[in-house]
Structures are given as structure tokens and as C-alpha cells.
Structure 1
Amino acid sequence: MSNLRISKIVERVNQLAEVDDSLDISWIGASDNAAIQTLETALGVNISGSFRDFILQTGGGGLADLYISSISKDEPLSGCYDDTIYYKEDWCPHKLPDHLIVIQRDFDDNEPMCLDSSVVINGENPVVLYYYQSTGEIEKIADSFSDYYHEFLTPYFDNNDI
């Protein structure tokens, strides 16, 4: 089910460029389970559900304004891995907990969106916002990556039929 929903969302994102050529859309390129497993092993996490499906289909990327961290087939320890490690460095007031995986990093160093690998409900890891600057608290944003991604893309879509 999540695979089909992710496919529909990706298809809709690709169609956005046909409607508005000012939108910058780029994908890393389909990844594979070996690349995801390399990242999982390096970070000591498990990625489930629609984020895994998204990475297998696209590798990461999308709209420039809503860029999703990548897990490249050729360089799995870049993109998502680098974004996650960045928030575990000494400069960070509240270092990222080991069970969180950064899936969307704001390069102005605002709070990152993360996948919570410690929770799996209905085959999905929830998406959370991590308040590394202030409290170190974790706020649940969506039950799944597909719910999160669809919600943030909704302003770009004419209707909400995904």
C-alpha cells in the first residue's frame, strides 16, 4: 500500500514541473536494499515502510524547497547519513538520539525532520521534528513518511486525491 501511495506522490511531483517550470525538481536515482542496509548498519537503525519505498524508487530528492535526504545506491554513506551525523556532533546543544534518522535538513540549521526508527506502527516509522537547539524534545509530525510528504506537498497540488 505505501509503495503505491509513494509512487502516486512521486508521479504528482514530477507533473509539477510540467505545470510550473520555475519549480526545481531532481531525484538522486533509484536506490536498492543493499544501500539502505549499509546505512542501517552504520547508524544502528532499521528503516520501515514508506520512507524505504520512497528511497527505493527515487534515492531521495524531490522539490528543492522540500528536499528529502538521500540514500544513494552508489554512496549510501552520504546524504541521509551525513545529515544524521551532523546533528550528533559536539557543536549541537542537544545531540540527535541514536534512534532518529534525519530525512530533511534545513541548511539554515533549523530543527530537522527525522524518522523515528524506535517505533514501527502498521509497518511505518513516524516522522518527528527534533528540537536540538532548545529542549531536545521530539514532536511527532506524521504517522508515516508518506503522510508527512503528502501533507507538505499539498500546497503544490490542485486536489488532495493521493
Structure 2
Amino acid sequence: MKDYKELIDKIEQSGEELFWQGGADNDQIKILEEKLKVKLPISFKNFLNEYGGGGVIDDEISGIESNNAELKTGGTILRDTLECRENFDLPNHLVVVFYKYQELAWCIDCSSRNNENECPIVSYDLFRRKVTNVIADNFELFFKQYLELRAGIDL
């Protein structure tokens, strides 16, 4: 996550408005894992520790708001994931990290881990109710791509 400060600065300098939900502690991340019945990868836990969630306004990454994993407000992982599970048959091994209501859901696939115990980020088609493709090999790469796209640069 240390490499992303430069990208975040460039986004802010471009005039984009950023919002971060505030860091989440390990106890709250554990509560989230228990509620969703998954084991989150370390790269995503690091993001939650540092930022909690958020990003560019109206395109925020789902997170833990106000260091409370049980909040079910818009933009929280718990609400976004449970809503997609209930309304769009999202499988239990997927955890929503980016959600546009009735448009798209990008998720961590907690059932698939590489040698570093990281999980891919996949696109879940809400209408066809299935995974359609892999967006990134892990959350760290996904976050970098997210920031680069919004900064309009390619590092």
C-alpha cells in the first residue's frame, strides 16, 4: 500500500474528490470475516487497516465504515455482499469490494488462493448470476489499477 500514496496525491491534485472510511482494526476485520464466513486475503486486510474503504467519490471501494464491521450502510462490505447474496445469488465464497447497484459487482474470490495465499478479484454478472472474468490476480493489483485509472496515468 505504500506505493499508492503518490497515485492518491495525483488524483487529489487533478481535482477529484476522495473519501476514505478510516482504518479498520484487526478485531473488526475478524468480525467481518465471521459474519461473511470467509477468510480475507492479507492484501485486502492491509487496505482495510490503512483506509477502511472508499476512494474517488461515487466510485468507492466497499469497506468497513467508522471501524465498525457490522454497519450495513451503503458502501460497506457487509451490506454490499449480503445484498448481492440475497438479490443476485452471489455465491458465499465471493466478497463484494466494488458495487454499483444493479450494474456490476467486483468481488474477492475467497475460494481461489495462489501460492502467496492471495485471492483473485473477479467480475460477477448480476443479471446472469455468474462470474464472468478475472479482473486482477489479487487485491493489491486491483487497487493499483483502480488508482491508475482514476489518476489517468500508467505507472
TM (normalized to structure 2)? 0.87
Change in 2 beyond 3 A, CA 1:134/1:159: closer
Count of matched residue pairs: 149
- Partner of 2:78 in structure 1? 81
Q: Of 7, 12, 15, which aligns to 1:12? A: 7
- Partner of 1:61 in structure 2? 54
More strand by share: 2
Change in 2 beyond 3 A, CA 1:135/1:43: closer
Structure 1 spans left out of the alignment, 5+ residues: 1-5
Query: What is the RMSD of the two structures over their aligned residues, measured on CA atoms?
Result: 1.8
Q: Of 147, 150, 156, which aligns to 2:144? A: 150
- Partner of 1:105 in structure 2? 99
Change in 2 beyond 3 A, CA 1:45/1:73: farther
Q: Which one is further off, 46-55 or 96-105?
A: 46-55
TM (normalized to structure 1)? 0.83
Structure 2 spans left out of the alignment, 5+ residues: none
Identity in percent: 28
User: What amino acid is aligned across from residue 86 of structure 1 in structure 2?
Assistant: E
Secondary structure of the residue aligned to 1:128 is strand
Alpha-carbon distance in 2 for matches of 1:159, 1:137: 27
Q: Displacement, 1:52?
A: 1.0
Divergent runs of 4+, >6 A? none
